[in-house]
Structure 1
Amino acid sequence: MTTAIIQTVSGRYVDVLHPRPTDIELGDIAHHLAQLCRFGGAVRRFYSVAEHSVRVARILPPPLRLAGLLHDAGEAYVADLASPIKRTLPSYQYVEGLVQEAVRQRFDLQLGRDDEAAIKRADIVLLATERRDLMPHDNTEWSVLAGVSPLEERITPLSIEAARDAFLAAFDEYAQLDLLGA
Protein backbone atom coordinates (compact mmCIF):
# COMPACT_ATOMS: atom_id res chain seq x y z
CA MET A 1 0.00 0.00 0.00
CA THR A 2 1.33 3.41 -1.00
CA THR A 3 1.46 6.00 1.75
CA ALA A 4 2.25 9.70 1.98
CA ILE A 5 2.66 10.45 5.66
CA ILE A 6 3.19 13.96 6.98
CA GLN A 7 3.70 15.21 10.51
CA THR A 8 1.54 18.09 11.71
CA VAL A 9 2.44 20.83 14.16
CA SER A 10 0.63 18.92 16.95
CA GLY A 11 2.91 15.93 16.31
CA ARG A 12 0.27 13.80 14.62
CA TYR A 13 1.19 11.69 11.62
CA VAL A 14 -1.37 11.77 8.83
CA ASP A 15 -1.35 9.62 5.71
CA VAL A 16 -2.82 12.02 3.17
CA LEU A 17 -3.52 9.11 0.80
CA HIS A 18 -5.65 7.43 3.48
CA PRO A 19 -6.81 10.22 5.79
CA ARG A 20 -9.26 9.40 8.57
CA PRO A 21 -11.58 11.92 10.19
CA THR A 22 -9.84 11.17 13.49
CA ASP A 23 -6.56 12.40 11.94
CA ILE A 24 -8.00 15.87 11.45
CA GLU A 25 -7.27 18.35 14.24
CA LEU A 26 -8.64 21.90 14.33
CA GLY A 27 -5.47 23.34 15.88
CA ASP A 28 -3.38 21.84 13.09
CA ILE A 29 -5.69 23.29 10.47
CA ALA A 30 -5.63 26.78 12.00
CA HIS A 31 -1.85 26.78 12.49
CA HIS A 32 -0.98 25.36 9.09
CA LEU A 33 -3.38 27.59 7.14
CA ALA A 34 -2.10 30.66 9.01
CA GLN A 35 1.41 29.78 7.83
CA LEU A 36 0.37 29.34 4.16
CA CYS A 37 0.49 32.43 1.98
CA ARG A 38 -2.22 32.82 -0.67
CA PHE A 39 -1.29 33.09 -4.36
CA GLY A 40 2.01 31.29 -3.86
CA GLY A 41 3.29 34.41 -2.11
CA ALA A 42 2.57 36.73 -5.06
CA VAL A 43 1.04 39.35 -2.76
CA ARG A 44 2.44 42.68 -1.66
CA ARG A 45 2.15 41.66 1.99
CA PHE A 46 1.81 38.20 3.56
CA TYR A 47 -1.83 37.08 3.50
CA SER A 48 -2.72 33.66 4.84
CA VAL A 49 -5.13 30.99 3.73
CA ALA A 50 -6.51 31.08 7.30
CA GLU A 51 -7.48 34.74 6.94
CA HIS A 52 -8.90 34.06 3.47
CA SER A 53 -11.06 31.30 4.98
CA VAL A 54 -12.33 33.57 7.76
CA ARG A 55 -13.25 36.22 5.20
CA VAL A 56 -15.05 33.72 2.93
CA ALA A 57 -17.08 32.49 5.90
CA ARG A 58 -18.11 36.02 6.90
CA ILE A 59 -19.83 36.71 3.59
CA LEU A 60 -21.91 33.54 3.68
CA PRO A 61 -25.29 33.13 5.36
CA PRO A 62 -25.00 31.73 8.93
CA PRO A 63 -25.87 28.10 8.06
CA LEU A 64 -22.92 27.93 5.62
CA ARG A 65 -20.29 29.80 7.63
CA LEU A 66 -18.67 26.76 9.22
CA ALA A 67 -18.39 25.03 5.84
CA GLY A 68 -17.06 28.26 4.33
CA LEU A 69 -14.44 28.53 7.06
CA LEU A 70 -13.31 24.97 6.36
CA HIS A 71 -13.56 25.10 2.54
CA ASP A 72 -9.76 25.07 2.14
CA ALA A 73 -8.96 23.03 5.27
CA GLY A 74 -7.48 20.21 3.20
CA GLU A 75 -4.69 22.61 2.21
CA ALA A 76 -3.48 22.46 5.81
CA TYR A 77 -2.31 18.93 5.03
CA VAL A 78 -1.32 19.17 1.35
CA ALA A 79 -0.32 22.88 1.03
CA ASP A 80 -1.85 25.53 -1.19
CA LEU A 81 -1.11 25.78 -4.88
CA ALA A 82 -2.13 28.61 -7.14
CA SER A 83 -5.30 27.55 -8.98
CA PRO A 84 -3.79 27.67 -12.50
CA ILE A 85 -1.13 25.18 -11.36
CA LYS A 86 -3.54 23.08 -9.31
CA ARG A 87 -5.78 22.56 -12.36
CA THR A 88 -2.89 20.88 -14.20
CA LEU A 89 -2.18 18.37 -11.42
CA PRO A 90 -4.97 15.79 -11.20
CA SER A 91 -3.06 13.72 -8.62
CA TYR A 92 -2.81 16.76 -6.33
CA GLN A 93 -6.55 17.44 -6.79
CA TYR A 94 -7.28 13.81 -5.93
CA VAL A 95 -5.22 13.86 -2.72
CA GLU A 96 -6.62 17.25 -1.70
CA GLY A 97 -10.11 15.82 -2.25
CA LEU A 98 -9.35 12.83 -0.02
CA VAL A 99 -8.22 15.10 2.81
CA GLN A 100 -11.09 17.53 2.31
CA GLU A 101 -13.55 14.63 2.56
CA ALA A 102 -11.95 13.57 5.87
CA VAL A 103 -12.39 17.20 7.05
CA ARG A 104 -16.06 17.12 6.02
CA GLN A 105 -16.60 13.89 7.94
CA ARG A 106 -14.66 15.10 10.99
CA PHE A 107 -16.79 18.23 11.31
CA ASP A 108 -20.01 16.63 10.00
CA LEU A 109 -20.33 19.04 7.07
CA GLN A 110 -23.20 17.94 4.87
CA LEU A 111 -23.41 20.15 1.81
CA GLY A 112 -25.75 20.06 -1.10
CA ARG A 113 -24.89 21.22 -4.58
CA ASP A 114 -26.45 24.66 -3.92
CA ASP A 115 -24.41 25.02 -0.72
CA GLU A 116 -21.18 24.20 -2.52
CA ALA A 117 -22.08 26.70 -5.26
CA ALA A 118 -22.72 29.43 -2.67
CA ILE A 119 -19.34 28.78 -1.05
CA LYS A 120 -17.66 28.87 -4.46
CA ARG A 121 -19.37 32.21 -5.25
CA ALA A 122 -18.18 33.67 -1.94
CA ASP A 123 -14.67 32.39 -2.69
CA ILE A 124 -14.73 34.14 -6.10
CA VAL A 125 -16.01 37.43 -4.63
CA LEU A 126 -13.18 37.29 -2.13
CA LEU A 127 -10.73 36.49 -4.93
CA ALA A 128 -11.79 39.70 -6.68
CA THR A 129 -11.29 41.61 -3.43
CA GLU A 130 -7.90 40.01 -2.76
CA ARG A 131 -6.73 40.75 -6.28
CA ARG A 132 -7.69 44.42 -5.90
CA ASP A 133 -6.16 44.85 -2.45
CA LEU A 134 -3.18 42.51 -2.32
CA MET A 135 -1.78 41.68 -5.72
CA PRO A 136 0.25 43.71 -8.20
CA HIS A 137 -1.95 46.13 -10.12
CA ASP A 138 -2.42 45.56 -13.85
CA ASN A 139 -5.22 45.58 -16.41
CA THR A 140 -5.13 41.88 -17.29
CA GLU A 141 -8.59 40.27 -17.31
CA TRP A 142 -9.07 37.15 -15.23
CA SER A 143 -11.88 35.17 -16.84
CA VAL A 144 -12.89 33.67 -13.48
CA LEU A 145 -13.65 37.21 -12.28
CA ALA A 146 -15.81 38.27 -15.24
CA GLY A 147 -18.84 40.08 -13.84
CA VAL A 148 -17.66 39.72 -10.22
CA SER A 149 -17.39 42.84 -8.07
CA PRO A 150 -15.04 42.96 -5.08
CA LEU A 151 -16.35 43.68 -1.60
CA GLU A 152 -16.41 47.33 -0.52
CA GLU A 153 -14.28 46.58 2.55
CA ARG A 154 -10.53 46.76 1.92
CA ILE A 155 -8.24 44.00 3.14
CA THR A 156 -5.41 44.81 5.50
CA PRO A 157 -3.76 41.44 6.16
CA LEU A 158 -3.46 40.04 9.66
CA SER A 159 -0.28 38.65 11.17
CA ILE A 160 0.16 34.88 11.17
CA GLU A 161 -0.76 34.70 14.85
CA ALA A 162 -3.81 36.97 14.47
CA ALA A 163 -5.02 34.95 11.45
CA ARG A 164 -4.69 31.69 13.41
CA ASP A 165 -6.57 33.18 16.36
CA ALA A 166 -9.27 34.63 14.09
CA PHE A 167 -9.72 31.22 12.46
CA LEU A 168 -10.11 29.50 15.84
CA ALA A 169 -12.51 32.17 17.11
CA ALA A 170 -14.58 31.93 13.93
CA PHE A 171 -14.71 28.15 14.31
CA ASP A 172 -15.99 28.47 17.88
CA GLU A 173 -18.64 30.97 16.77
CA TYR A 174 -19.79 29.05 13.70
CA ALA A 175 -19.73 25.63 15.39
CA GLN A 176 -22.04 27.12 18.03
CA LEU A 177 -24.35 28.42 15.28
CA ASP A 178 -24.27 24.98 13.71
CA LEU A 179 -25.31 23.39 17.01
CA LEU A 180 -28.17 25.86 17.31
CA GLY A 181 -29.30 25.05 13.78
CA ALA A 182 -28.85 28.67 12.64
Structure 2
Amino acid sequence: MNPTILTASGRYFDFINPDPKSIRVFDIGRALSRICRFTGHTTKFYSVAQHSVLVSKVVPPEFALQGLFHDGSEAYLGDVSSPLKQLLPDYKAIEQRVEHAIATAFDLPEQLHPSIKQADLRLLVTEKRDLMPKARIGDVDTEAWAWTRQFEPLPEVIVPMSPDEAYDAFMIRYLEVI
Protein backbone atom coordinates (compact mmCIF):
# COMPACT_ATOMS: atom_id res chain seq x y z
CA MET A 1 0.00 0.00 0.00
CA ASN A 2 1.29 3.45 -0.94
CA PRO A 3 1.16 6.21 1.69
CA THR A 4 -1.32 8.21 -0.41
CA ILE A 5 -4.97 9.22 -0.24
CA LEU A 6 -7.43 10.07 -2.99
CA THR A 7 -8.79 13.58 -2.43
CA ALA A 8 -12.21 15.02 -3.21
CA SER A 9 -10.88 16.48 -6.48
CA GLY A 10 -9.68 13.06 -7.67
CA ARG A 11 -5.98 13.75 -7.09
CA TYR A 12 -3.70 11.58 -5.03
CA PHE A 13 -1.92 13.11 -2.07
CA ASP A 14 1.39 11.58 -0.95
CA PHE A 15 2.20 11.78 2.78
CA ILE A 16 5.91 11.06 2.26
CA ASN A 17 6.48 13.66 -0.46
CA PRO A 18 3.54 16.07 -0.46
CA ASP A 19 3.60 17.97 -3.73
CA PRO A 20 2.36 21.57 -3.53
CA LYS A 21 0.93 21.06 -7.04
CA SER A 22 -1.43 18.43 -5.62
CA ILE A 23 -2.91 20.90 -3.10
CA ARG A 24 -6.28 22.38 -4.05
CA VAL A 25 -8.38 24.83 -2.06
CA PHE A 26 -11.44 22.77 -3.03
CA ASP A 27 -9.97 19.68 -1.34
CA ILE A 28 -9.04 21.59 1.80
CA GLY A 29 -12.43 23.32 2.07
CA ARG A 30 -14.39 20.13 1.38
CA ALA A 31 -12.44 17.98 3.82
CA LEU A 32 -12.34 20.57 6.62
CA SER A 33 -16.09 21.13 6.27
CA ARG A 34 -16.64 17.45 7.03
CA ILE A 35 -14.21 17.17 9.97
CA CYS A 36 -15.59 17.96 13.41
CA ARG A 37 -13.47 19.96 15.82
CA PHE A 38 -12.39 18.35 19.11
CA THR A 39 -12.44 14.90 17.46
CA GLY A 40 -16.23 15.10 17.48
CA HIS A 41 -16.66 15.63 21.23
CA THR A 42 -18.87 18.68 20.82
CA THR A 43 -22.53 19.16 21.69
CA LYS A 44 -23.28 19.83 17.99
CA PHE A 45 -21.35 19.18 14.79
CA TYR A 46 -18.87 22.05 14.34
CA SER A 47 -16.41 21.84 11.50
CA VAL A 48 -12.75 22.73 11.23
CA ALA A 49 -13.73 24.76 8.13
CA GLN A 50 -16.06 26.99 10.16
CA HIS A 51 -13.38 27.35 12.84
CA SER A 52 -10.85 28.35 10.16
CA VAL A 53 -13.21 30.96 8.70
CA LEU A 54 -13.71 32.45 12.16
CA VAL A 55 -9.97 32.57 12.84
CA SER A 56 -9.47 34.34 9.50
CA LYS A 57 -11.99 36.99 10.57
CA VAL A 58 -10.47 37.56 14.03
CA VAL A 59 -6.90 38.21 12.85
CA PRO A 60 -5.78 41.48 11.23
CA PRO A 61 -6.90 41.51 7.57
CA GLU A 62 -3.37 41.13 6.20
CA PHE A 63 -3.12 37.72 7.91
CA ALA A 64 -6.59 36.44 7.00
CA LEU A 65 -5.31 33.93 4.42
CA GLN A 66 -2.89 32.49 7.00
CA GLY A 67 -5.81 32.24 9.45
CA LEU A 68 -7.97 30.46 6.90
CA PHE A 69 -5.29 27.84 6.21
CA HIS A 70 -3.82 27.50 9.72
CA ASP A 71 -5.40 24.04 10.11
CA GLY A 72 -5.18 23.15 6.42
CA SER A 73 -3.05 20.08 7.08
CA GLU A 74 -6.06 18.53 8.83
CA ALA A 75 -7.71 18.23 5.42
CA TYR A 76 -5.18 15.49 4.70
CA LEU A 77 -4.31 14.25 8.21
CA GLY A 78 -7.64 14.53 10.01
CA ASP A 79 -8.15 16.34 13.30
CA VAL A 80 -5.80 14.79 15.83
CA SER A 81 -6.31 16.19 19.32
CA SER A 82 -3.39 18.14 20.76
CA PRO A 83 -3.00 15.78 23.75
CA LEU A 84 -2.69 12.81 21.36
CA LYS A 85 -0.25 14.67 19.07
CA GLN A 86 2.10 14.97 22.06
CA LEU A 87 2.28 11.17 22.15
CA LEU A 88 2.99 10.79 18.42
CA PRO A 89 6.44 12.22 17.62
CA ASP A 90 6.38 10.92 14.03
CA TYR A 91 3.08 12.67 13.42
CA LYS A 92 4.68 16.10 13.86
CA ALA A 93 7.19 15.40 11.07
CA ILE A 94 4.40 14.38 8.70
CA GLU A 95 2.33 17.39 9.72
CA GLN A 96 5.27 19.72 9.01
CA ARG A 97 5.71 18.27 5.52
CA VAL A 98 2.04 18.79 4.75
CA GLU A 99 2.08 22.32 6.20
CA HIS A 100 5.12 23.13 4.05
CA ALA A 101 3.34 21.91 0.91
CA ILE A 102 0.26 24.01 1.74
CA ALA A 103 2.38 27.08 2.49
CA THR A 104 4.17 26.66 -0.84
CA ALA A 105 0.93 26.09 -2.76
CA PHE A 106 -0.67 29.28 -1.42
CA ASP A 107 2.47 31.39 -1.12
CA LEU A 108 2.19 31.58 2.68
CA PRO A 109 5.08 32.01 5.10
CA GLU A 110 6.40 28.90 6.84
CA GLN A 111 5.95 30.59 10.23
CA LEU A 112 2.44 31.83 10.80
CA HIS A 113 2.05 35.32 12.21
CA PRO A 114 1.63 35.29 16.04
CA SER A 115 -1.87 36.76 15.66
CA ILE A 116 -2.98 33.42 14.20
CA LYS A 117 -2.14 31.53 17.40
CA GLN A 118 -3.77 34.23 19.52
CA ALA A 119 -6.96 34.07 17.43
CA ASP A 120 -6.89 30.26 17.51
CA LEU A 121 -6.73 30.31 21.32
CA ARG A 122 -9.47 32.92 21.55
CA LEU A 123 -11.63 30.70 19.37
CA LEU A 124 -10.75 27.72 21.56
CA VAL A 125 -12.19 29.35 24.68
CA THR A 126 -15.22 30.54 22.72
CA GLU A 127 -15.77 27.03 21.36
CA LYS A 128 -15.45 25.55 24.84
CA ARG A 129 -18.07 28.00 26.10
CA ASP A 130 -20.49 27.47 23.21
CA LEU A 131 -19.93 23.95 21.91
CA MET A 132 -18.32 21.70 24.49
CA PRO A 133 -20.20 19.65 27.08
CA LYS A 134 -19.96 20.85 30.65
CA ALA A 135 -17.51 18.83 32.70
CA ARG A 136 -18.94 16.53 35.34
CA ILE A 137 -18.49 17.56 38.95
CA GLY A 138 -15.18 16.24 40.25
CA ASP A 139 -13.54 16.03 36.82
CA VAL A 140 -10.29 17.85 36.10
CA ASP A 141 -11.95 20.54 33.95
CA THR A 142 -10.79 23.47 36.08
CA GLU A 143 -7.18 22.32 36.03
CA ALA A 144 -7.16 21.12 32.42
CA TRP A 145 -8.43 24.44 31.08
CA ALA A 146 -6.80 26.76 33.63
CA TRP A 147 -4.18 27.90 31.11
CA THR A 148 -6.94 29.33 28.88
CA ARG A 149 -8.14 31.87 31.46
CA GLN A 150 -5.89 34.52 29.95
CA PHE A 151 -7.89 34.46 26.69
CA GLU A 152 -11.12 36.38 26.30
CA PRO A 153 -13.84 34.54 24.36
CA LEU A 154 -15.53 36.30 21.47
CA PRO A 155 -18.67 38.21 22.51
CA GLU A 156 -20.81 36.50 19.86
CA VAL A 157 -22.05 32.94 20.28
CA ILE A 158 -20.92 30.41 17.67
CA VAL A 159 -23.82 28.92 15.73
CA PRO A 160 -22.61 25.74 14.03
CA MET A 161 -23.04 25.40 10.29
CA SER A 162 -23.81 22.27 8.32
CA PRO A 163 -20.89 20.81 6.35
CA ASP A 164 -22.25 22.31 3.11
CA GLU A 165 -22.69 25.74 4.70
CA ALA A 166 -19.18 25.57 6.19
CA TYR A 167 -17.72 24.59 2.81
CA ASP A 168 -19.47 27.54 1.14
CA ALA A 169 -18.28 29.90 3.89
CA PHE A 170 -14.72 28.60 3.52
CA MET A 171 -14.69 29.08 -0.26
CA ILE A 172 -16.31 32.53 -0.05
CA ARG A 173 -13.79 33.59 2.58
CA TYR A 174 -10.95 32.30 0.41
CA LEU A 175 -12.16 34.44 -2.51
CA GLU A 176 -12.43 37.45 -0.18
CA VAL A 177 -8.87 37.21 1.10
CA ILE A 178 -6.81 36.19 -1.95
The two structures share one fold, judged by TM-score above 0.5 = yes
Secondary structure of residue in 2 paired with 1:131: helix
Residue range with higher mean Cα deviation, 3-12 or 49-58: 3-12
Q: Distance in 2 between matches of 1:93 and 1:7?
A: 22
**Shift in Å, 1:143:** 3.9
Letter in 1 for 2:125: A
Q: Is the 8 A contact 2:100 2:110 kept in 1?
A: no
Deviation at 1:34, TM superposition (A): 0.4
Indicate the larger mover: 34-43 or 130-139.
130-139
Q: Which residue of 1 aligns with 2:60?
A: 61
What is the aligned-residue identity percentage? Answer: 44
- Cα distance, 1:93 vs structure 2: 1.4
- The letter for the 2-side match of 1:81 is V
Where 2:171 maps in the other structure, the secondary structure is helix
Could you tell me which of 112, 129, 134 is aligned with 1:132? 129
**Number of aligned pairs?**
172
Residues 59-83 of structure 1, C-alpha deviation per residue, up to 9 Å, x if partnerless? 0001000000000001101111111
Q: Deviations over 1:65-110 (max 9, x none)?
A: 0000000001101111111111211111111111111000000012
Which runs of at least 4 in structure 1 moved beyond 6 Å after TM superposition? none
2:119 maps to what in 1? 122
Q: Unaligned regions of 5+ residues in structure 2, if any?
A: 136-140
Q: CA RMSD in A?
A: 1.5
Provide closer, same or farther for how the CA distance between residues 51 and 98 of structure 1 changes in structure 2, counting only shifts above 3 A.
same
In terms of mean alpha carbon deviation, does 146-155 or 166-175 score higher? 146-155
AA of the residue aligned to 2:142: T
Matched, 1:101 2:100: yes
Alignment partner of 1:6: what SS?
A: strand
Which residue of structure 1 aligns with residue 14 of structure 2?
15
SS of structure 1 residue aligned to 2:115: helix
SS at match of 1:140: helix
Change beyond 3 A, Cα 1:161–1:120: same
Q: Which residue of 1 aligns with 2:173?
A: 170
**Superposition deviation, residue 112 in structure 1:** 5.2
Residue pairs, 1:23-172, within 5 angstroms: 23-110=22-109, 115=113, 117-138=114-135, 139-141=141-143, 142-172=145-175
Cα gap change, 1:125 to 1:164, in 2 (>3 Å): same
Are residues 94 and 112 of structure 1, via their aligned partners in 2, closer, same or farther at CA, if it must alter by over 3 Å? closer
Kindly tell me: are residues 112 and 101 of structure 1, through their superposed partners in 2, closer, same or farther at Cα, counting changes over 3 Å? closer
